[in-house]
Amino acid sequence: MKPPTPKSFMSHSKAALLCLLFFIPCSPAGANPFLSGSSSSEGAAVQPQPVRPPVLQGPGELGALQMKIRNRLAEIFVPSGQATPALRAALLLTALAYGFLHALGPGHRKTVVFTLFLSRKTRWWEPAAAGFLSAGAHGGMGIFLILLLRMLNPLSLLQDTENASRYLEGGTYLALALVGTVFLAGALKQLIRGEHRHHHDGGNHGAGTVARGSRGIYLTVLTASLFPCPGSILILLFSLSLGEIGWGILAVLFLSLGMGVTITGAALLARTGREGLFRRLGAREKGAARLSAALESGAYLFLVGFSLWMAAPFALSLFPAG
């Protein structure tokens, strides 16, 4: 039997990647990989449903462009023996571009960060801090999950990764609803007591101190991001098939940078809109304070409702009828 040549190895690897591209979103979930010790079908294993409802689909052009970039990643991600510095640089830049475009689609916490920065007074640099925190946690969780499951059970890595991702994403939205409820209760309490006050900060108008405005933003963003990014999972699984997990991790870091740029843009857009709104109010301090209180309470109410709606398919699937 002839040993596999580099050319045949790469053709099989690329075929495996294409299978992953279609298999990961479509394959059925199995038992909880954190709780089950085998793939046996004994007992009624819970099969969690994906968090996102089917109606949430990205634009067709964006999806096609992402697929094109993913295919390009597969072409230039080669074993170290065949890699050149130019190919490695192209790999990282392509991962960066993929992360930027990937985060333009549904999800990726843009709704969360936009809502938070619309409702709170923050410093000028905080949209970037929250955006890259979200992207880093999103991509880093993929690295952690793959390395953990690879150590625990490498023979069923693909299936276990899919199952764990669904549990983590569903649990993340439920936790986000809980965090949002806590902050909503605090905002309503202060609104009822009339504790919201208007302050001037370097010529900018807003309600509440900057410290108060930032409170809870990072905790909420981090809570919303503690599940693995599908794009990072895809890259890491492919890098494992090539025996290049180190370069896979580095590519995921660049992918996270690209996602961070997009998420930061959403946060910055919300903050700019808020600052412009309060600048228009000018010296009408009482009206600005009331508006800020309403924005904060409304933002957390929306966040709780949005999180519960997103988590509903997952939560309901844990309690099968009959």
Give the count of beta carbons closer than 10 Å to the beta carbon of residue 58: 14
The confidence score (pLDDT) of residue 37 equals 43
The confidence score (pLDDT) of residue 268 equals 96
* Whether pLDDT at 313 is above 80: yes
With residue 201 as reference, give the H or E element that holds it: strand 198-201
The confidence score (pLDDT) of residue 21 equals 39
* Whether pLDDT at 109 is above 50: yes
CB contact at 8 A, 147 and 249: no
Closest CA to 208 of 268, 118, 126, 288: 288
CB contact at 8 A, 165 and 230: yes
Quick one: pLDDT band at residue 35, thresholds 50, 70, 90?
very low
Quick one: pLDDT band at residue 261, thresholds 50, 70, 90?
very high
The confidence score (pLDDT) of residue 321 equals 63
Closest CA to 139 of 182, 179, 96, 199: 96
* Whether pLDDT at 133 is above 90: yes
The confidence score (pLDDT) of residue 87 equals 95
For residue 275 the two structure tokens come to 């600052």
Choose the most confident range, by mean pLDDT, from 55-59, 121-125, 263-267, 314-318: 263-267
Rounded-to-integer distance, Cα 70 and Cα 87, Å: 15
Q: Which residues contact 245 (CB under 8 A, 6 or more apart)?
A: 236, 239
* Whether pLDDT at 31 is above 50: no
The confidence score (pLDDT) of residue 322 equals 54
Rounded-to-integer distance, Cα 197 and Cα 20, Å: 53
Average pLDDT over residues 23-36: 39
